[in-house]
Structure 1
């Protein structure tokens, strides 16, 4: 993209993101951000905007940020885990759980009865029946293992709002281009360009450079470039399912304390 003679404000120094953050916080309809590095607190601001009804779009990369956190820490709030229950498998698991409880209760009850009979009658013959109680106990342990290994949950993932994490060239040698440019577009009529990343250090503390553009035609072209970059057909990015599996655990079922043995 090339645009000549755009009128803009220029700022150099620390606190380069002060006005930027204020305008992002006051956005009325949309915010678009491209920044290779993020910090969790800044992403929380985007989540807050999304909950207010602001349309948020984000471009970033899988690079480490300045504090050596993986981007997972920042991306986590943007990835929604959707858990799906297999009703048929869950019914089978409940039956095994009920069987385990019956067998365990039966083995304990039988063992107690046999001990009481042995003590009351002074006849050790009842002790032989403990073998049956022990067999019931072993069967209950088998049933318990079955409940632990039956998979009743599957998972899919969705994004809180549109975002893409492009693969950095030095990570997997897939993309030749690293998305290093920082672009901020607020409500389609104000754009910021410069060196500051969407991090606390970049927006508040580092010595950074930035320009603020309100020229209608310039902002339009900047937004077109952003949209083109977001939909770039030649750049690999991490899919939402891949992010979900790397961020979340995926238990195959619930613990026994959570299981309710009810049949409809």
Structure 2
């Protein structure tokens, strides 16, 4: 992307992010954040804005198995929700399996009694037949019980509360990925009227303590170009910039009880 900027202000030094935070807190319609790192305070700010019906779009990264480098943050319910739905076919299958197990219990009881009876009154051939039927029934019973345990009446899906894209750090060794590029850019767009570019991440240190550089932009044309580029990144499916699938992420952080 290349765009000429007419109306921009450059800030350099410590605490250059104060104006950025003020503009984000004052957002009325939408906030778009592109930052490989963020912290819990800033995440809570985005959640607060979301609760105020401000449209949030967040693009961040997964580094060292921590999304946005948020250590110990519980994403369940706060950022990604689990939805449970009933699988009616599985429910019918489970009821059928229960009926088969009941039948097998009766059959097993009959075959065991048959083994005892043939042991005293019949020849060896009858005893072998009854023993074979008993063992076979036990095998089928155990297999059916295992199938019953592994059949879930419910299936689960996952959804983030606002649009979220999590790219994987190419150096991540614990999650298999095809990433070749690390998403290092930082950009913030507020209400399509103000944008920020620079070195500062969406963290307390970057915005209030570190020596950073930030450019504040009010040029509508440049902001529109920047927003379009960020949306292209958000929608990207290139394996060179691999990302965490929402469903896979949900399965990693939530339990899915087999019931």
Give the TM-score of the pair, scaled to structure 2: 0.68
Q: Secondary structure of 1:2's match? A: coil
Query: Do the aligned residues in 2 keep the contact of 1:65 with 1:71 (CA within 8 Å)?
Result: no
Say whether 1:188 aligns with 2:192: yes
**Structure 2 residue aligned with 1:8:** 8
**Displacement of 1:241:** 0.6
Query: Do the aligned residues in 1 keep the contact of 2:37 with 2:68 (CA within 8 Å)?
Result: no
**Displacement of 1:151:** 3.5
Say whether 1:250 aligns with 2:256: yes
**Structure 1 residue aligned with 2:161:** 160
**Displacement of 1:204:** 2.1
1:131-190 superposed Cα distances (whole Å, 9 cap, x missing partner): xxxxxxxxxxxxxx9998774432110110111001222224512211100010000110
Query: Do the aligned residues in 2 keep the contact of 1:38 with 1:74 (CA within 8 Å)?
Result: no
**Structure 1 residue aligned with 2:112:** none
Query: Within 2, Cα distance between the matches of 1:53 and 1:21?
Result: 18
Give the gaps of 5 or more residues in structure 2: 99-145
Query: Within 1, Cα distance between the matches of 2:222 and 2:199?
Result: 19
CA distance 1:199–1:231, change in 2 (3 Å): same
**Structure 2 residue aligned with 1:131:** none
**Displacement of 1:4:** 3.1
CA distance 1:205–1:66, change in 2 (3 Å): farther
**Structure 2 residue aligned with 1:260:** none
**Displacement of 1:206:** 2.0
Say whether 1:199 aligns with 2:200: no
**Structure 2 residue aligned with 1:27:** 27
Query: Within 2, Cα distance between the matches of 1:89 and 1:70?
Result: 38
**Structure 1 residue aligned with 2:242:** 236
- Could you list the structure 1 runs, at least 4 aligned residues long, displaced by more than 4 angstroms after superposition: 64-72, 86-93, 145-150
Give the TM-score of the pair, scaled to structure 1: 0.67
Query: Within 2, Cα distance between the matches of 1:170 and 1:66?
Result: 13
**Displacement of 1:200:** 2.1
CA distance 1:232–1:10, change in 2 (3 Å): same
1:213-240 superposed Cα distances (whole Å, 9 cap, x missing partner): 0012111111111111111232321111
Q: Secondary structure of 2:256's match? A: coil
1:38-79 superposed Cα distances (whole Å, 9 cap, x missing partner): 212211211111121111111111114999955783754221
Give the gaps of 5 or more residues in structure 1: 97-144, 254-264
Taking the TM superposition and a 5 Å limit, the aligned residue runs for 1:82-121 are: 82-86=83-87
Query: Within 2, Cα distance between the matches of 1:191 and 1:181?
Result: 13
CA distance 1:3–1:89, change in 2 (3 Å): closer
Query: Within 1, Cα distance between the matches of 2:68 and 2:230?
Result: 27
Taking the TM superposition and a 5 Å limit, the aligned residue runs for 1:135-146 are: none
CA distance 1:181–1:65, change in 2 (3 Å): farther
Query: Within 2, Cα distance between the matches of 1:146 and 1:218?
Result: 59
Q: Secondary structure of 2:171's match? A: helix
